[in-house]
Amino acid sequence: MKKTWIMTQEWHHVLFLHWPVSPEKICKYIPAELELDLYNHQAWIGIVFFQVKGNRPRFIPPLPGFKSYLELNVRTYVTYKGKTGVYFFSLDANHPLIVELANLGDFLPYRNAKISFKKHKKIFSLYSKYERQNENILTTFEPITKPLESTRLNTWLTERYSLWTKTKGRLFRVDISHTPWRLQNVNGLVYENTMAPFLKENFSMKRPLAHYSTMKKARFYPPILEK
């Protein structure tokens, strides 16, 4: 039976920043039902930024004031009963009402943050700050025009079509769909990074593996209670 999507949005100016981390440093921060998905015996932390546009439920046009915002998430990669996907430590957005709606039922860890995103000539600048825990990131980057040839690692990091979240003692999965990523390499620098401060390993001081994609349209499907 084909599933029916319930929400759609476009992701513009998608920036992927990835760091390898020791599995032992991160495993205790994911639900016990999940297992870390490892690449060459390493876990990975991803910081992913994008501009949301055209945010809307199925059959409803985008509502003024709700259709666009900036989002920055911190995630790692997990498996559940052989299925691979994503677990989010945090999802920051610069839209208080979106955060409030997304937090209904404590389903996902959305947080209201100050996020700015600007472009000067070919250079993008991104700054995000979550004040309650003094988490921030500051980076500038320039996408390289030529599309990047897919590699096993790039595909492993980005082609993820399920997320898991645990609320009120129950584990849920949300599936998404979109076309495969067309990635570009990035020239850039991370000047500040205090995201995911619970990790004892100071991954933020290392140079990330960075990728960029211009735009992707995604669809979200109803949550599924895992058994």
Per-residue pLDDT tens digits for 88-120: 999 999 999 999 988 888 899 999 999 999 999
Separation of alpha carbons 217 and 88, rounded Å:
20
Q: Six-digit token pair at 6?
A: 């319930």
Alpha helices (runs of H) in the chain, residue ranges in sequence order: 23-26, 96-102, 152-158
Cβ contact 86:45 at 8 Å: no
% of the chain surpassing 70 pLDDT:
99
The pLDDT-based confidence of 66 (bands split at 50, 70, 90) is confident
31 pLDDT band (50/70/90 cuts)? Answer: very high
